[in-house]
A and B are shown apart, each in its own frame.
Chain A
Amino acid sequence: MNLVVTPGWYMTLAAVLFALGALGILIRRNALVMFMCIELMLNAVNLTFVAAGRALGSLDGQLAVFFVLVVAAAEVVVGLAIIVAIFRRRQSASVDELSELAG
């Protein structure tokens, strides 16, 4: 049996990764882990970009990935700083304990 890797494979993998990330966001309480799940989702999207770009013979997909990486890096910097600040204050990174800002 000759196995051919088609774009559909990549899309399926990306969808699985994205679902894992989304699930992680919904069930984990630790802010740091949730952060990693977000990264997982971002990279799942990146994978679809690259795969689609390759399939369509266009560079646009790879271009978009660079943007996502840069934005993700910036987001991580800010997000980690906030998480560290919160952790120093409360010795915990559980998001459920941070519900006081609700209206």
Chain B
Amino acid sequence: MITELLWLLIALPLASAVFLHFVGRRIGEPRAGYLATLAVGGSFALGLGAALPFFRGGAHGVTVTIWEWMPAIGASFEISWDPLSALMTLIITGVGALIHLYAVGYMHGEERFSRFFVYLNLFVASMLTLVLAGNFAMLFLGWELVGLCSFLLISFYWTRPSANAAGKKAFIVNRIGDLGFLVGLMLIFTSFSTLSYAGVFERASAVLSPGAATAISLLILVGAAGKSAQIPLYVWLPDAMEGPTPVSALIHAATMVTAGVYVIARCAVIFELSPIAGPVVATVGAATALWAATIALAQRDIKRVLAYSTISQLGYMFLAVGAAGHVAGVFHLMTHAFFKALLFLGAGSVIHGMDNEQDMEKMGGLRKAMPITAATMLVGTVAISGIPPLAGFWSKDEILGVAFARGGWFSLLWIVGLVTALVTAFYMTRQFVLVFLGQPRWDGEVHPHESPRTMTVPLLALAGLSLVGGLFNTPFRTALEHFLEPSFELVELAHPPAGLGMFVLLAGLSTMAGLAGVAAAFLAYNRPAELWARFEAAFGRLWGLWSRGYRVDDVYGATLVKPGLRLAEDAAFRFDLPVIDGAVNGIGRLVRAVAARSRGVQSGFVRSYGVLFAAGTIAVIAWMTLRGA
């Protein structure tokens, strides 16, 4: 049976990582990269084979125990293979393999070429551990490993202080979320006395009170907000751009940030039991979506636009899973993986061709120099803008439909989502126009060129997926929903309003929002640079606020980071140094002082030792005699 081979899904990339760690340097470029790609591709092929029963429909998930770890608390190394984890596996390994292939070209000539692939493979293996876990303990293991890998990759160029700072920032912000998540897991354990999915989800409705369900859900949300970069823990993601571009693509599309959405979808049963957890998640999502989208409007760095765009799109996914539209959320996760990986790799291709230039105002007119990149980026831009029939349209529309159908508070979130759709279309079109259309604005020394085949092939593949990826789940053919059904048996899913009329109305509205954004950006930016400034000036101080990300980093720096540093310094120099070190050194000094005084006894004269020895013996004998009498 193929289920017995499921452990290979994780083992292949992990083995490749270990192998490359030891001999990667020896086998050299580009073979190390191809080996890493092959390992992830192998996982993808295996996952595809193992997922076949789910494609045929009707098959239920299985749990395969690899080895018992702590069976008493329901924590073993077990793989839960159901449609949800299968889909996640296919996204992670499929998109991941394309990114690996791309990285072979992108990292060409890099000194630590093979080291990079060690980390990439480890990242994929960690993420697979996370999604394939059959209990919360293993989930947490993967959860932490993903955080570690992101740290290693973001600060890959460790000689740059900014890269180090970004890596630390990602790690620390994630740790804040992880703490909430960990406390949530502890609550789960105290409520259920087990950590296994089966033991928790099936008994959840019987065991959990609404209050307990709310507490657990909100704590999981804290963790999810950290990993998936939601308000207020999103600040690490824009800085994560310090890593090489394939890392950004991997973090944003296949691994890491999707973890939060996945966990909420996985724990849907618990969220459902709480009256407020769902609305809270949806509100956080919608707020993040609009917040980050407006920041993306005013960014000049090609990768920062995409980073804020990812935060915004993750907000959509949170909106969906918060509104109990888990299929819609996972669907958007999938389509987003396609087009965001495409956009990042496209941006990487541009940066590569422009000799590491990232400022969009120094680009322009690149469509002639980089036709393949331009064409694929166009597909990605249209897809994320929500223009039918590309991927982003279907998934975003389903999310908005779900929010609309829930009514009440969610109607407000629906409007926020609609506005975000417009803003999204605007900033993505702005990016495309600035980079590829208009007149060249770069210096004479730069000679933009199309990227090598290893980079363009993944771009083309992802462009194809972005074109047709939305057709997995349309109102006319809900294939993905049927596919995922066994995973959400215990949950009541929310759906978009039924009927063709409603669909046309809602889809028409969101399409119009998208088209309006595209048109506005085109009009505003497809003209000489002097006129942009006037357009941007029309927004007044708001534009400056956007371009600095609402100055959230400054606020956090002043309110959290600075006091934190003060605390650390005080702990180090006022407590650790005088008290802890003082105690240890004091004991040392005491011993030395005693030794200095008693040293004289050891004179080296054998006969004085003899006297002491005899005196001691006599004393002992005298004492024994007197006592015995």
Contact = CB atoms under 8 A, between A and B. Distances in A.
A102 B605 CA distance: 8
B611 A102 contact: no
Interface string A2-37: 000000000000000000001001110100001000
A61 B413 CA distance: 102
A101 interface: yes
B606 interface: yes
Nearest to A103: B602
B605 A95 contact: yes
Contacts of B602: 102-103
A29 B610 CA distance: 12
Contacts of A91: none
A96 B599 contact: no
B604 A100 contact: yes
Contacts of B611: 26
Contacts of B606: 34, 95-96, 98-99
- Chain B contact residues (Cβ within 8 angstroms of A): what range? 10 to 19
Contacts of A25: 607, 610
B610 A99 contact: no
Contact of A103 (B599, B605, B607, B614): B599
Interface in A64-103: 95-96, 98-103
B603 A26 contact: no
Of A27, A100, A102, most B-chain CB atoms within 10 Å: A102
B614 A102 contact: no
B604 A101 contact: yes
B607 A102 contact: no
Interface string B588-605: 000000000001001111
B614 A99 contact: no
A90 to B, nearest CB: 15
Contacts of B605: 95-96, 99
A26 B609 CA distance: 9
Nearest to A28: B607
Nearest to B599: A103
B607 A99 contact: no
Contacts of A98: 604, 606
A99 B614 CA distance: 20
Given A96-B607, A98-B604, A102-B602, 6 more contacts: A26-B614, A96-B605, A96-B606, A98-B606, A102-B604, A103-B599
Interface of B: 599, 602-607, 610-611, 614
20 contacts: A25-B607, A25-B610, A26-B607, A26-B610, A26-B611, A27-B607, A29-B607, A34-B606, A95-B605, A95-B607, A96-B605, A96-B606, A96-B607, A98-B604, A98-B606, A99-B603, A100-B604, A101-B604, A102-B602, A103-B599
